[in-house]
């Protein structure tokens, strides 16, 4: 058990923080919802009912959507583009091990099965990280659209206004306002990390160059 925790400490810590933040969001959101309903003369609703509401699920998935879009774009762009001096980039002046041809390892018994299999299987495996991140983004985008439509219609019913269809909400300014306000912040933070990693260090982190490395050195 100790070895498992040591070998997976980063993943465990990140998911624990994620769950803590999600629980915090749900509790804070519930109290905010209760206050809003009181201001509009509506009766309170149970906590479980709030968790299944369009308001809560929309807020969750619009954030997840932006995160997975940023992660996919980052994985994809760093495969082809470089930033000299940043630890987040490949070295523009040297061959990177990430570009190693997997076909050269087909006879390696320790290589993953798709590498030894070759062909279309190898091609798909070579881009599997990007594909999966893109699929998760598409999934969370659709859930965000669905729950955002639900929330908009819940608000419309409260104010005696007509509800709208999924496609109508997709074309609305409100939906794209929700999306772009998260997308822009994700790419801003990524760009700042790429830029700061040129001059600043965090000793012990694989996301940073060594403290003694010159600023123009790329990678680790």
Q: DSSP states of 15-70 as a string?
A: HHHHHHHHHHHHHHHHHHHHHHHHHTTPPP--HHHHHTSHHHHHHHHHHHHHHHHH
Decide if pLDDT at 174 tops 80: yes
Specify the 3-state DSSP secondary structure of 96. Answer: coil
Q: What pLDDT, on the 0 to 100 scale, is given for residue 184? A: 96
Decide if pLDDT at 170 tops 70: yes
Query: 187: exposed, middle or buried (C-beta count within 10 Å: 0-12, 13-18, 19+)?
Result: middle
Specify the 3-state DSSP secondary structure of 14. Answer: helix
Could you read off the pLDDT of 34-51 as tens digits, one per residue?
998 898 888 899 999 999
Closest among 59, 15, 14 to 33, alpha carbons compared: 59
Q: What pLDDT, on the 0 to 100 scale, is given for residue 24? A: 98
Give me the DSSP letters along 131-162. HHHHHHHHHHHHHHHHHHHHHHHHHHHHTT--
**Rg for the chain (alpha carbons), in Å?**
23
pTM of the predicted model as reported, rounded to 2 decimal places: 0.91
E strand or H helix that includes residue 75: helix 54-80
66 within 8 A of 180, measured Cβ to Cβ: no
59 within 8 A of 66, measured Cβ to Cβ: no
Tokens coding 123: 């091609």
Q: What pLDDT, on the 0 to 100 scale, is given for residue 95? A: 81
Decide if pLDDT at 160 tops 90: no
The residue-averaged pLDDT of 58-87 equals 95
In this predicted structure, which of 70-74, 99-103, 134-138 has the lowest mean pLDDT?
Answer: 99-103
**For residues 93 and 186, which has the higher predicted lDDT (pLDDT)?**
186
Q: What pLDDT, on the 0 to 100 scale, is given for residue 121? A: 95
Q: What pLDDT, on the 0 to 100 scale, is given for residue 207? A: 87
Closest among 134, 108, 136 to 122, alpha carbons compared: 108
Q: What pLDDT, on the 0 to 100 scale, is given for residue 27? A: 98
Query: What CA–CA distances, in Å, run from 163 to 45, 153, 219?
Result: 22, 5, 52
**CA atoms of 204 and 41, how far apart (whole Å):** 55
Mean pLDDT computed over every residue of the chain: 93
Q: What pLDDT, on the 0 to 100 scale, is given for residue 220? A: 59
Q: What pLDDT, on the 0 to 100 scale, is given for residue 51? A: 97
**For residues 169 and 206, which has the higher predicted lDDT (pLDDT)?**
169
Decide if pLDDT at 208 tops 70: yes
182 within 8 A of 65, measured Cβ to Cβ: yes
């Amino acid at each position: 058990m100790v070895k498992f925790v040591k070998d997976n400490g980063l993943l465990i810590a990140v998911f624990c923080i994620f769950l803590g933040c999600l629980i915090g969001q749900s509790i804070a959101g519930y109290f905010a919802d209760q206050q809003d309903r009181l201001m509009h003369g509506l009766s309170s609703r149970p906590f479980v009912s709030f968790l299944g509401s369009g308001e809560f699920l929309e807020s969750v998935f619009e954030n997840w959507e932006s995160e997975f879009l940023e992660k996919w774009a980052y994985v994809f762009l760093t495969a082809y583009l470089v930033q000299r001096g940043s630890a987040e980039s490949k070295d523009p002046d040297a061959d990177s091990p990430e570009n190693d041809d997997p076909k050269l390892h087909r006879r390696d018994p320790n290589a993953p099965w798709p590498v030894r299999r070759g062909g279309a299987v190898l091609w798909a495996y070579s881009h599997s990280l990007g594909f999966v991140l893109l699929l998760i983004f598409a999934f969370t985008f659709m859930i965000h659209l669905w729950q955002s439509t639900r929330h908009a219609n819940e608000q419309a019913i409260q104010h005696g206004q007509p509800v709208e269809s999924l496609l109508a909400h997709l074309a609305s300014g409100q939906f794209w306002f929700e999306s772009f306000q998260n997308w822009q912040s994700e790419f801003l933070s990524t760009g700042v990390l790429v830029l700061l990693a040129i001059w600043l260090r965090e000793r012990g982190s694989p996301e940073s160059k060594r403290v003694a490395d010159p600023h123009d050195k790329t990678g680790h």
